[in-house]
Amino acid sequence: MPYRWDKAAEIRRSQIESGADLTFSKVFVPYYQNLISSSKPASLLELGCGTGNLSAILSSSVPVVVALEPSRGMYETAREVLQGKSVRLLNCSVEDYRKDIRFDILISHMCIQTIDDLDKFIGGVVRHMGFASLFVFAIPHPCFYNSYKLFFEPGEYHYMQEAKKAISFAITKDPGRLITGVPYNHRPLSRYFALLKDHSLHVVDFHEMFPGPHIQKLYGRAWEYPWYCVFFARKTRN
């Protein structure tokens, strides 16, 4: 539920803006910047923008940016972050965003795993896509993330079974500040492919995030596996 993120908003902003969140600053920001540079979209919709920092960064390269954030606490933080930026920020979910607008690219960064009704969410996404639109979403890698964070005990984790849990976590460079009560949904990869297909979307690309040794070194440990993955989907022409 969106309110669960309210208390985490200022912690997340601090971690992102200080550079403590290595995954955001060193792995994903360059990745999305390269994506925008290569695809050159005229419009972008960010779904679940959190603190607004990603939209703020990408807005310098995209003429029209709309950011949606259902959590009131995150929205208030994002409003401060996005002051002076050419980003339209709305305190709502994509399911409730009713503007009849099609976007060139739609990005959901590390958000979908927190959503319980993913069928409804993707239905909302599709309303804002044309056949040329690209839907990009990053999630913790379902195959490997539990071995990294151990959210589920061995007896309650089975890769092929969907599972939901309220989790607590801290980031590598800020272990003393625990973010608690966050919803987390484990789904096997096949479930994501099936949900996209149900909404007449097809996967056009899929990336497993695995930074080079110089970035891994910043974490103080080598990555054993790709901890995150990114889907790229487009509407299917019948």
pLDDT tens per residue, range 157-199 = 999 999 999 999 999 999 999 898 899 999 999 999 999 999 9
Instruction: Answer whether residue 2 shows pLDDT above 90.
Output: no
**212 in a structural domain:** yes
Inform me whether the pLDDT recorded for 1 exceeds 50.
no
211: in domain: yes
Provide the domain count of the chain.
Answer: 1
For residues 36-41, average pLDDT: 98
Question: How far is Cα 9 from Cα 22, in angstroms, rounded to an integer?
Answer: 17
Cα(74)–Cα(57) distance, integer angstroms: 17
Distance CA 162, CA 188 (A): 7
Mean pLDDT in residue range 208-230: 96
199 assigned to some structural domain: yes
d(CA 203, CA 101): 22
Q: What is the pLDDT of residues 79-112, one digit of tens each?
A: 999 999 999 999 999 999 989 999 999 999 999 9
Is residue 154 domain-resident? no
Residue 170's contacts (CB-CB under 8 Å, 6 or more residues apart) are 176, 177, 178, 179
Q: Tell me phi and psi for residue 148, to 5 degrees.
A: -85, -50
**Residue 87 within a domain:** yes
Looking at the domain assignment, is residue 160 inside a domain? no
Q: Which structural domain, as residue segments, surrounds residue 202?
A: 2-141+187-235
pTM recorded for the entire structure: 0.95
